């Protein structure tokens, strides 16, 4: 019996040991599986990182290409603007001169169309031509604004205001009837002819006039203030002397008589009847002749003092001003390179 129990104990111990071995083996296999899972995850993370790195490399390689493309497109854009600027604003090139000549022809035709459109039996086709030229000049105006480096300089310049006024009446006629006849303002754009054909002598004379008027402006303002004060005083005196019975019914009407008399126009609709009034009117007429001479002398003195050098037809892209010297490389008004 004891032997049999010992044998059974040994067998149970062996089975326990085998179970323990199996448990250890299972634990080891579990650990191995866990390690393999961990390694798989690690490998997958490495793969994703490598994909991301490759994408970053591709992006970094593509960035300079995109920058170069943007630079090339911006250069093409700026070159296009420069070419259009030379054609539209300057007349030194063949394209610029041709553009300005065609523009003047279009202006003259549009003004003629406006003349004939004012007739009662005008053809309806004139309405079509009027809007055709208006559309054409509108595109040209906005093209000028787009090309210039500083649009506000062109918009508020002399030619910029005229260009805007040349298209404004047509659009106002949509809301206010009859305003489209103001399209004849376009005739002022023909002043560009002096720049187109390089009539340097006329350009110089025009610049002298502008310069002389600019310098004599303060003196003329003082002089006109004195004349206005004299007109008010003389009109008031004539109202007191003549009175309503002789046609001077109010001070404003008397001032109107003083303006007509002092400018030596003399409509004759109102005339003094009393001897005192006639004596005052004679004095006013003599003063009128002297008044004409004074501003002429002021402006003439400025003409003598004004001097101007030979100029080119180049227009500054920054401030849209002309009148530069032939050898000028930079704008004398804003310093921008011509």
Read off the pLDDT of residues 93-105 as tens digits, 9 standing for 90 and up: 788 888 888 888 8
Residue 227 lies inside a defined structural domain of this protein: yes
Same domain, residue pair 235 and 173: no
Under the banding of pLDDT at 50, 70 and 90, the label for residue 233 is: very high
233/167 same-domain check: no
Answer yes or no: is 331 within a domain.
Answer: no
For the chain, the average pLDDT equals 75
Tokens 């006039």 -> residue: 209
- Mean pLDDT computed over 134-146: 91
Q: In the prediction, which pLDDT does 84 show?
A: 85
Q: What total of structural domains would you count in the chain?
A: 3
Average of pLDDT values for 166-170?
86
Q: Does 319 fall in a domain?
A: no
Domain limits for position 283: 201-312
**8 within a domain of the structure (yes/no):** yes
Structural domain contains residue 82: no
Domain identity same for 108 and 65: no
**For position 192, what pLDDT does the model report?**
62
- Distance between first and last Cα of the chain: 126
- Alpha helix segments (H runs only) across the chain: 2-88, 94-117, 125-147, 151-155, 158-172, 193-196, 200-242, 251-262, 275-305
Taking only the tens place, the pLDDT of each residue in 191-223 is 665 555 544 445 566 667 777 778 888 888 888
Do 193 and 206 belong together in one domain? no
Q: What's 143's domain CATH number?
A: 1.20.120
Q: Which residue has the higher pLDDT, 295 or 32?
A: 295
Instruction: Tell me the pLDDT tens digit for each residue of 30-41.
Output: 555 555 555 455
Q: For position 1, what pLDDT does the model report?
A: 47
- Supply the DSSP symbol for 119: S
Give yes or no: residues 106 and 208 share one domain: no
Identify the helix (H) or strand (E) that includes residue 26: helix 2-88
Q: Which residues, 6 or more positions from 17, have their beta carbon under 8 angstroms from its beta carbon?
A: none
Last residue of a domain, one of 164, 198, 232: 198
Same domain, 113 and 158: yes
Is 155 in the same domain as 256? no
Q: Is the pLDDT of residue 308 over 90?
A: no
Residues 185 and 166: beta-carbon distance below 8 Å: yes
Q: What is the mean pLDDT of residues 138-166?
A: 88
Q: So what's the pLDDT on residue 26?
A: 53
Q: Which of 155, 172, 198 is the last residue of a domain?
A: 198
| 247 Cβ contact list (under 8 Å, min separation 6) | 253, 270, 271
Domain shared by 194 and 208, yes or no: no
With a cut of 80, say whether residue 235 has pLDDT above it. Answer: yes
Q: With a cut of 80, say whether residue 143 has pLDDT above it.
A: yes
**Phi, psi dihedrals of residue 269, rounded to the nearest 5°:** -70, -30
What's the whole-model pTM score?
A: 0.49
**Confidence check: pLDDT of 28 > 80:** no
Residue labelled with tokens 């203030």: 225
Assess if residue 116 is contained within a domain. Answer: yes
User: For the domain that residue 277 is a member of, what is the CATH number?
Assistant: 1.10.287.70
Q: Radius of gyration over alpha carbons of the chain, in Å?
A: 46
- Is 325 part of any domain? no
The more confidently predicted of residues 246 and 194 is 246
Q: 39 with 70, same domain?
A: yes
Compute the average pLDDT of residues 222-248. Answer: 90
Domain co-membership, 115 together with 38: no
Is 236 among the domain residues?
yes
Query: Phi, psi (5° rounding) for residue 297?
Result: -65, -40
Percent over 70 (pLDDT), the chain: 66
pLDDT digits (tens, 9 = 90+) for 58-81: 555 555 555 556 666 677 667 888
Q: Tell me which of 145, 171, 198 is where a domain ends.
A: 198
Phi, psi (5° rounding) for residue 161? -65, -40
Per residue in 45-56, pLDDT (tens digit) is 555 555 555 655
Question: What pLDDT is attached to residue 139?
Answer: 93
Let me know: does 338 contact 324? Beta carbons within 8 Å: yes
The answer, yes or no, to whether residue 134 has pLDDT greater than 70, is yes
Same domain? For 190 and 209 the reply is no
Task: Mark whether 297 and 209 lie in a shared domain.
Answer: yes
């Amino acid at each position: 019996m004891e032997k049999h129990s010992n044998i059974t104990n040994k067998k149970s111990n062996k089975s326990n040991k085998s179970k323990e071995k199996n448990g250890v083996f299972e634990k080891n296999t579990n650990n191995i599986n866990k390690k393999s899972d961990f390694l798989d995850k690690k490998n997958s993370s490495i793969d994703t990182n490598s994909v991301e790195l490759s994408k970053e490399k591709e992006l970094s390689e593509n960035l300079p290409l995109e920058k170069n493309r943007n630079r090339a497109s911006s250069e093409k854009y700026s070159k296009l603007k420069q070419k259009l600027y030379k054609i539209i604003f300057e007349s030194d090139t063949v394209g610029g001169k041709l553009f300005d000549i065609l523009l003047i022809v279009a202006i003259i035709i549009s003004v003629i169309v406006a003349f004939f459109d004012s007739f009662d039996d005008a053809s309806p086709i004139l309405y079509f031509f009027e809007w055709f030229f208006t559309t054409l000049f509108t595109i040209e105006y906005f093209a000028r604004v787009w090309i210039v480096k500083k649009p506000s300089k062109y918009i508020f310049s002399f030619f910029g205001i005229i260009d805007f006024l040349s298209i404004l009446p047509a659009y106002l006629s949509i809301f206010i009837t009859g305003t489209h006849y103001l399209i004849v303002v376009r005739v002022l754009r023909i002043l560009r002819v002096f720049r187109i054909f390089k009539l340097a002598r006329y350009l110089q004379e025009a610049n002298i006039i502008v310069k002389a008027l600019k310098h004599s402006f303060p003196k003329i303002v003082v002089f006109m203030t004195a004349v206005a004060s004299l007109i008010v005083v003389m009109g008031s005196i004539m109202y007191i002397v003549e009175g309503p019975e002789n046609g001077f019914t109010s001070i404003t009407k008397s001032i109107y008589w003083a303006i007509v008399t002092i400018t030596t126009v003399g409509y004759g609709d109102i005339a003094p009847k009393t001897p005192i009034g006639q004596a005052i009117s004679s004095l006013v007429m003599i003063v009128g002749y002297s008044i004409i001479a004074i501003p002429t002398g002021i402006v003439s003195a400025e003409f003598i003092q004004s001097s101007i050098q030979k100029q080119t037809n180049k227009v500054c892209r920054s401030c849209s001003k002309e009148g530069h010297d032939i050898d000028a490389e930079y704008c004398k008004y804003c310093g921008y390179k011509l």
